[in-house]
Structure 1
C-alpha cells in the first residue's frame, strides 16, 4: 500500500487524513495517508524516514513549509515564487516540491462562480499564506491584484517578484482610496478573531469577501462583510479541500470530486 503523510507541529487538528482517505475511496486507490507530529528539529530526518519506508509523497503544514522548500531537489515555478512547499513527491531518489494552496483558492472561488478575470482583487497580508496564492491568482488574468499589508516593504517584496503590471503593493490605510471587486484575507485575523484594519466602506464596495480560514462559526471578517451586505461570503474550507485535491492529482494523476468531501466536512463543523 502506498504510504503518504501530512507533517506538522501541531497536527492533531488536521483534516487532511480524512480528505485523502475520501479521495482514495472514490478512486479506488490503495493509499495509507496519516498525520504525523514532527519535532521542530526533526523534519528532514522524518522525511528521509518516510522515503526509506517506501513513501510516495507528503503534505507539509506549519511550521515546516520553508524547510520542505529547502529539502527539494526540484521545485515547481509556483513553489519557487512562494518560497514554500506544501506537497512533496518522492520519485527515483529525488524530492519534488510544489505548492497547491493557490490552486485550492482559485478552484474554490471558481466553484462559487466568482469572476476572477478582469476583476480588481485585494489580497490582505504579506506572509506565507499570501505568497502561496499570488501566482495562481495572476494566472486568472485579473484587472489588478493589490497586496495590502501593515508593513509596506513586505508587500512590495512579493509584488516585485512578478514582472506583471497588474500587481501592486500598498498599506492597509491606502485601501480606503481604492475600490475592489474581491477581498481575500490572508492574515491571521481570521484565526485570532481580530477585525481587519480596513474600512467598512472598502468592504462594502466589494462583491466577494473570502477568508482563508474556516471554523464552526463565521470569522469576524466574514461577519462584518455579511452585515455590510456583501454578496458572496466564503470561508476557506473549500480552499483546504481544493489544495488537497491538487496534491492528490499530483500524486495519482486523478482529479477527485471535492463536493461530497466538502459536504462531509461542513457537516462535521456544525
Structure 2
C-alpha cells in the first residue's frame, strides 16, 4: 500500500519547517505520510497542484504567495476559508481540492493555550491586510475580542479586508496616516514585513500604540521578527511573541484535517524554539 503524499507549496519554500513538523507528528502518531516541499511560481500554481494530485498528492499546506490563488482553485471551501478568502490547507476529495484555513485557529491556540492569553474584550490592532491577516482576523473575532483595528500601507486592501469580515461594529479600517490618533491597544499583531529588515529603531510606528500590559505578536519567527519585537520592547510592551507557535499549531490543525487525529505540539515546538530563540520574551 502506497504512503499518501503531502507537501507545502510556496515560492520560495525550501526554508519551510513544515516537513520537519509533520515528520514529528507522523512519528508521534504512527501515521505514515510522505511530506515534502513543492516550489511553484505563481503562474504555475494550478499546473503544479494538478501534477501533485496525479502523483498521489492527498493534501497540502499553502504558503506565500499562493494563499489567495489557491482558494480560487478549490472545488469547495470550508466556512473559515470562505470567510477569510484565503487557503492554507488543501484536502483532496473525489471531486477536487477542498480548501481550509487553519492559520487563525493556530494563532488563537498558541496565544490562549501556550501563552495563557485571554482574548475576550481586548482592543486589537492588526497591521497588514494580505493573506496572513485575512487568515487570522476571523479567528480573532471568534475568540471574543472587543475591537479589531486594521491598518495597511495599501488603503484599498484595508477596506477590502474589513468589508470581507462583515462586522462593522467591531472591525475598523484605518490607515497609516491615522496611527498617531488611534490610541493604545491591548494586543498588536504584525502580519507584514515591517521591521523584518531593521533593528526596530526606525519603524514607522508610534510608541503610543502600546498601552500598559499590551502584548505584541509578529507572525514571522526567528530573526525575521527581531526588529518589530525590539520596537515593541523599547515601547514598553508587556509580552513579546513570535509566530513559531502559530506555525506549529496551524500544522497540527492541518494534520487533523488529513488524518482525523490531533497531534501533541509541545515536543516539536520546544525543539524548534531551542533553535529559534525569539519567542515570548518578558520585559
Give your verdict on TM over 0.5.
yes
Q: Equivalent of 2:82, from 80, 83, 86?
A: 80
Match of 1:137 in 2: 140
Aligned 8 A contact 1:173 1:198 in 2: no
Of 73-82 and 251-260, deviating more is 73-82
Aligned 8 A contact 2:221 2:276 in 1: no
Match of 2:190 in 1: 185
In 2, Cα distance between equivalents of 1:3 and 1:80? 25
Match of 2:173 in 1: 169
Post-superposition offset of 1:116: 0.6
Post-superposition offset of 1:258: 1.2
**Per-residue CA distance 1:172-194 (angstroms, 9 max, x = gap):** 33233322100001111143336
Q: Equivalent of 2:127, from 121, 124, 127?
A: 124
1:34 aligned counterpart, secondary structure: strand
Aligned 8 A contact 2:218 2:225 in 1: no
Post-superposition offset of 1:206: 5.2
Alignment of 1:159-238 (within 5 A): 159-164=162-167, 165-177=169-181, 178-193=183-198, 195-205=202-212, 207-216=214-223, 218-238=225-245
In 1, Cα distance between equivalents of 2:26 and 2:111? 24
Segments of 5+ residues of structure 2 without an aligned counterpart are 278-283
- Summarize the Cα distance change of 1:9–1:163 in structure 2 as closer, same or farther, 3 Å threshold: closer
Segments of 5+ residues of structure 1 without an aligned counterpart are none
Aligned residues: 270
In 2, Cα distance between equivalents of 1:258 and 1:183? 25
Aligned 8 A contact 1:183 1:206 in 2: no
Post-superposition offset of 1:214: 1.1
In 1, Cα distance between equivalents of 2:158 and 2:224? 29
In 2, Cα distance between equivalents of 1:151 and 1:47? 30
Match of 2:60 in 1: 58
Give the alignment's TM-score, normalised by structure 2.
0.89
Cα RMSD, aligned residues only? 1.8
Post-superposition offset of 1:92: 1.5
- Summarize the Cα distance change of 1:158–1:245 in structure 2 as closer, same or farther, 3 Å threshold: same
Give the alignment's TM-score, normalised by structure 1.
0.93
2:16 aligned counterpart, secondary structure: coil
1:161 aligned counterpart, secondary structure: helix
Match of 2:280 in 1: none
Aligned 8 A contact 1:85 1:99 in 2: yes
Aligned 8 A contact 1:107 1:242 in 2: yes
Of 103-112 and 167-176, deviating more is 167-176
**Per-residue CA distance 1:38-76 (angstroms, 9 max, x = gap):** 244322222122222222101111222222111100002
Of 5-14 and 73-82, deviating more is 73-82
- Summarize the Cα distance change of 1:239–1:190 in structure 2 as closer, same or farther, 3 Å threshold: farther
Aligned 8 A contact 2:184 2:209 in 1: yes
